[in-house]
């Protein structure tokens, strides 16, 4: 009976009865090499099949949650093309209210952040990033920490539900230093809340009676030993099925930057990713000490830590965009990163989405810049460029998923 439902459901997806586009519309342009835009599988599809089976249960039966993690540097901190993916996946089937997942108060760290939520705060705060030469405190999966000794400090995160998907939540995992030196948290929202601490797991949980779209948190000193609060991020949850798309990016971050995050492995237990998009590499390739061997070794260790949370995680390796250095010299290391990503995908039963080839390879940055898709630095995309990349990646994922359904049925 279930096989019959799957077959019918697959047909419904293919004819688009949900009222949503099966594919993002891509311009018919010679600078977009659509023949290279699919997911490439240089090795086994075992991990992909596990993921697509879970995706099938969600897409066709409305069952379960899928946790996505998308890593990168400045391409991801701004959360433009990762948010494009979030919008596509979150809106693919109507009435899915997947949770927002990991968010961080970037404004406290005096840097840019996603545009689907606003950050307000009070008090004196300090911050440290995984690209800093010296670390004043530990770092977690987000790659940034903020900390305060000010008991008048507070933080508020408000979602813009008019322009984005509604990401209401009734459970907040506060990733923070949970010890005897930490201030107590106090919920400042109008809804009643219960707070539970889990020191061994490195977080506290705020349980709300009803879903909300605004986080309001203050701090109070309840013991003479308490002298600070160290925050690594908020993980926002709800009880609905759907996609939780976590974007994790730090401007200037390389693979080595994330290996400096002492609590990375612990926080992966919270995120528990079903699929990871790996877009870390553009800053590695611009480093003077870049080697393919070291690059692969760094990724191997990051993958090892993620697999402690979920051994079946499906990894999608995103090659670098073609780029030039700040000295205006063509960065040929993009070819080496491309080779490394294919080797990593084969080694870890993952897939490659070859952005480098989709753009056209070496010197294609000039063409994309001329089309106003890359900025003058020929490293970062314009908003239009990021949205195009998000559309292409979404199409590649959906094509692979539909190929899985065809093979299964």
185-214 confidence digits (pLDDT tens)? 999 998 889 999 999 999 999 999 999 999
Give the mean model confidence (pLDDT) for residues 359-369.
98
Average pLDDT, the chain: 93
Distance CA(14)–CA(52), nearest Å, equals: 16
Write out the residue limits of the CATH 2.60.120.1360 domain(s) in the chain: 99-239
pTM of the model: 0.94
Distance CA(257)–CA(168), nearest Å, equals: 32
- Residue 6 backbone dihedrals phi, psi, to 5 degrees: -60, -45
Tell me: the pLDDT tens digits for 16-62?
433 344 789 999 999 999 999 999 999 999 999 999 999 999 988 88
**Quick check: 127 pLDDT over 50?**
yes
Query: What's residue 2's pLDDT?
Result: 52
Give the mean model confidence (pLDDT) for residues 322-338.
94
**Quick check: 12 pLDDT over 70?**
no
Query: What's residue 3's pLDDT?
Result: 53
Q: What class does CATH assign to 99-239?
A: mainly beta
**Quick check: 5 pLDDT over 50?**
no
Distance CA(282)–CA(152), nearest Å, equals: 40
Distance CA(220)–CA(229), nearest Å, equals: 10
Write out the residue limits of the CATH 3.40.50.1110 domain(s) in the chain: 1-98+241-409
Tell me: the pLDDT tens digits for 239-251?
999 999 999 999 9
76: exposed, middle or buried (C-beta count within 10 Å: 0-12, 13-18, 19+)? buried
Query: What's residue 288's pLDDT?
Result: 86
Distance CA(150)–CA(127), nearest Å, equals: 14
- And the tokens for 40? 């490439």
**Quick check: 13 pLDDT over 60?**
no
Query: Residue 182 carries which DSSP code?
Result: B
Contact (CB, 8 A) for 95 and 60? no
Query: What's residue 17's pLDDT?
Result: 39
Give the mean model confidence (pLDDT) for residues 314-340.
95
The kind and range of the H/E element at 255 are helix 255-259
Query: What's residue 19's pLDDT?
Result: 37
**Quick check: 235 pLDDT over 70?**
yes
Give the mean model confidence (pLDDT) for residues 283-310.
96
CATH T-level fold of 1-98+241-409: Rossmann fold (3.40.50)
């Amino acid at each position: 009976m279930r096989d019959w439902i799957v077959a019918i459901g697959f047909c419904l997806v293919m004819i688009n009865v949900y009222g949503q586009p099966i594919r993002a519309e891509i311009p018919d342009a010679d600078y977009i090499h659509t023949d290279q835009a699919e997911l490439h599988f240089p090795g086994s599809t075992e991990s992909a099949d596990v993921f697509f089976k879970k995706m099938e249960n969600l897409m066709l039966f409305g069952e379960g949650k899928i946790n996505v993690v998308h890593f990168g540097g400045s391409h991801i901190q701004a959360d433009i093309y990762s948010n494009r993916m979030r919008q596509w996946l979150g809106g693919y089937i109507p009435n899915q209210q997947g949770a927002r997942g990991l968010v961080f108060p970037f404004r406290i760290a005096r840097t840019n952040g996603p545009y689907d939520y606003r950050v307000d705060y009070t008090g004196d705060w300090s911050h440290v990033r995984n690209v800093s030469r010296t670390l004043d405190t530990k770092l977690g999966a987000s790659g940034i920490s903020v900390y305060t000794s000010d008991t008048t400090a507070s933080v508020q995160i408000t979602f813009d539900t008019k322009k984005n998907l509604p990401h209401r939540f009734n459970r907040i995992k506060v990733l923070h230093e949970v010890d005897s030196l930490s201030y107590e948290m106090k919920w400042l929202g109008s809804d009643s809340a219960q707070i539970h601490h889990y020191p061994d797991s490195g977080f506290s949980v705020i349980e709300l009676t009803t879903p909300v779209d605004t986080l309001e948190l203050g701090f109070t000193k309840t013991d003479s030993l308490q002298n600070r609060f160290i925050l690594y991020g908020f993980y926002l949850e709800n009880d609905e099925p759907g996609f939780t798309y976590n974007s994790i990016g730090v401007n200037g971050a390389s693979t080595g930057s994330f290996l400096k995050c002492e609590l990375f492995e612990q926080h992966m237990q919270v995120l528990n990713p079903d699929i990871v998009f790996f877009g870390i590499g553009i800053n590695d390739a611009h480093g003077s000490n870049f080697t393919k061997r070291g690059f692969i070794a760094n990724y191997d260790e990051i993958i090892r830590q993620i697999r402690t949370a979920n051994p079946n995680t499906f990894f999608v390796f995103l090659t670098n965009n073609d780029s030039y250095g700040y000295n205006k010299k063509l960065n040929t290391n993009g070819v080496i990163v491309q080779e490394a990503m294919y080797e990593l995908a084969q080694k870890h039963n993952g897939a490659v989405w070859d952005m480098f080839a989709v753009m056209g390879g070496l010197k294609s940055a000039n063409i994309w810049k001329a089309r106003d898709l890359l900025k003058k630095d020929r490293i970062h995309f314009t908003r239009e460029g990021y949205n195009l990349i998000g559309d292409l990646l979404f199409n590649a994922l959906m094509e692979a998923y539909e190929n899985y359904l065809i093979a299964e049925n």
